[in-house]
Chain A
Amino acid sequence: KNQVEQSPQSLIILEGKNCTLQCNYTVSPFSNLRWYKQDTGRGPVSLTIMTFSENTKSNGRYTATLDADTKQSSLHITASQLSDSASYICVVGSNFGNEKLTFGTGTRLTIIP
């Protein structure tokens, strides 16, 4: 069964600090890995999309890494801001004709001043 597991489930850090969120997946065949940010009451917004040939991708203060051999990904947030408070969802795409996405349950990040 395709699964995406994220850790930690929740995280609280001080404004200005860095943090790293983890994602492990068992999805086959692998097509791509995405990180989404979901603010409370809103739909998810894409941060990065990586294929198996990419091992790092940045979007501003967000940097995602991918190790397709160990099936692990991380999302590093630099110099956190209050607006970074949200859920961060790891999503793995699988090519079975129509692409199927398997979603993790997310890491709830809270930035405190």
Chain B
Amino acid sequence: GAGVSQSPSNKVTEKGKDVELRCDPISGHTALYWYRQSLGQGLEFLIYFQGNSAPDKSGLPSDRFSAERTGGSVSTLTIQRTQQEDSAVYLCASTVITGREQFFGPGTRLTVL
């Protein structure tokens, strides 16, 4: 079956613009994670969705970042008023249940000029 997909694969934007990143998890996976990978850094947890529970937003770096998951499937990460330090690869992962193997998408490379 299909793996986790993300779009776009690359996004170049100007400072101050808003961007939306999309993640399509593996069908049937109830848990979905967003991570950020900056150059030379380890993956940084951003937000976690589990079924219909309230999302764990503890990793979001500022109120410019938000995410939603519609219908328990597709998720969108929105960054408002982008800054140059937001430039990174944004990775989405899904899993059947927390504690099990996470399957990662290919990521979206965001460049803020």
B40 touches A100 (CB 8 A): no
**Docked complex: B12-56 residues within 8 A CB-CB of A:** 35, 40-45, 48, 50, 56
B40 touches A99 (CB 8 A): no
- Which secondary structure dominates where chain B touches chain A? loop
Cβ-based interface call for B63 (8 A): no
A4 touches B42 (CB 8 A): yes
Categorize the interface residue count of chain B.
Answer: 20 to 34
Given A44-B104, A104-B42, 15 other A-B residues pairs in contact with their CB atoms under 8 A: A32-B99, A41-B106, A43-B104, A43-B107, A46-B101, A46-B102, A89-B42, A89-B43, A98-B48, A98-B98, A99-B99, A101-B102, A103-B42, A105-B40, A105-B41
> Which B residues contact A (CB, under 8 angstroms)?
4, 35, 40-45, 48, 50, 56, 91, 93, 98-107
